[in-house]
């Protein structure tokens, strides 16, 4: 049986709709999993029922994270968050960690997980962390635009067996202070944290770049999906 993997929905408030980028689902399918998009809910019992039917959860990109989660207020008008999604992800993450269920966070995923677990964020990289690296590329989004350095004591190094990786990049927020439970797996050449794992969890990875755009053309991006699905199979 293929593992079923729940995906946090993307939210379009103007259209009052939930939606999904195909790369998230296609990446999981190609790696051997069966993806399903969750409804938007923060009800603890509903989430418990949802999680009882899946073997892993993918935390997707999308809205900014409410700065109130890490005890700040928005610094400018670029910060745009969705309370319903923050509330949902807080409950999903709480239960996923309690169950030691495999999880993968991408873009907003690393940011939300970090904030929820006690870290903080750069709310707007151009304002708070000026850098020459391109962290907000133009299409096509599957093309790499900068390099990350992989820590040799990380699970990511164990998977890829390489000290650096060329990645795509499309974000304006990033991890500032990492959560205490994180092991940092990779950093950009300007020092921004690009990948983390949660200590003492079977598989809890989060990335700042976007393997859902590049898994078809980049072997390392596909290996990340495969590793996630492999742990979901074992759950």
Catalytic residue among 171, 212, 227, 231: 212
- Alpha helices (H) along 52-118: 83-99, 108-116
Q: How many CA within 13 A on the CB side of residue 9?
A: 18
> Of these residues, 63, 82, 89, 107, which one is catalytic?
107
- Cβ distance 154 to 163 under 8 Å? no
Q: Which of 80, 92, 107 is nearest to 39 (CA)?
A: 92
Rounded distance between C-alpha atoms, residue 199 and residue 160, angstroms: 19
Give every CB contact of residue 119 below 8 A, 6+ residues apart in sequence. 70, 175, 176, 177, 178, 179, 180, 182
Question: In the block, which residue shows the tokens 């928005």?
Answer: 74
Q: DSSP letter for 95, please.
A: H
The yes-or-no answer on residue 210 being catalytic is yes
Provide DSSP, 35-66: EEEPPS---HHHHHHHHTT-SEEEE---SBPP
> Which of these is catalytic: 82, 210, 227, 232?
210
Question: Is 212 designated active site?
Answer: yes
**Residue corresponding to tokens 């000290």:** 163
Is 166 known to be catalytic? no
Residues with catalytic roles: 107, 210, 212
């Amino acid at each position: 049986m293929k593992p079923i993997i729940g995906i946090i929905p993307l939210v379009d408030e103007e259209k009052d709709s939930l939606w999904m980028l195909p790369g998230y689902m296609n990446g999981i399918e190609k790696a051997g999993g069966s993806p399903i998009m969750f409804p938007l809910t923060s009800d603890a019992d509903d989430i418990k029922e949802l999680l009882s039917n899946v073997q892993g959860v993918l935390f997707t990109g999308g809205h900014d994270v409410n700065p109130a989660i890490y005890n700040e207020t928005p610094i400018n008008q670029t910060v745009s968050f969705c309370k319903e999604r923050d509330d949902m992800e807080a409950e999903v993450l709480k239960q996923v960690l309690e169950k030691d269920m495999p999880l993968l966070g991408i873009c907003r995923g690393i940011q939300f997980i970090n904030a929820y677990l006690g870290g903080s964020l750069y709310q707007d990289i151009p304002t708070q962390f000026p850098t020459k690296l391109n962290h907000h590329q133009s299409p096509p989004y599957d093309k790499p635009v900068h390099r990350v350095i992989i820590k040799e004591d990380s699970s990511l190094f164990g998977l890829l067996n390489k000290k650096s990786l060329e990645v795509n990049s499309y974000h304006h927020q990033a991890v500032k202070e990492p959560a205490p439970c994180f092991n940092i797996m990779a950093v950009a050449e300007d020092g921004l944290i690009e990948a983390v794992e949660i200590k003492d969890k079977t598989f809890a990875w989060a990335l700042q770049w976007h393997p859902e755009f590049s898994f078809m053309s980049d072997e390392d991006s596909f290996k990340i999906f495969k590793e996630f699905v492999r742990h979901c199979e074992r759950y």
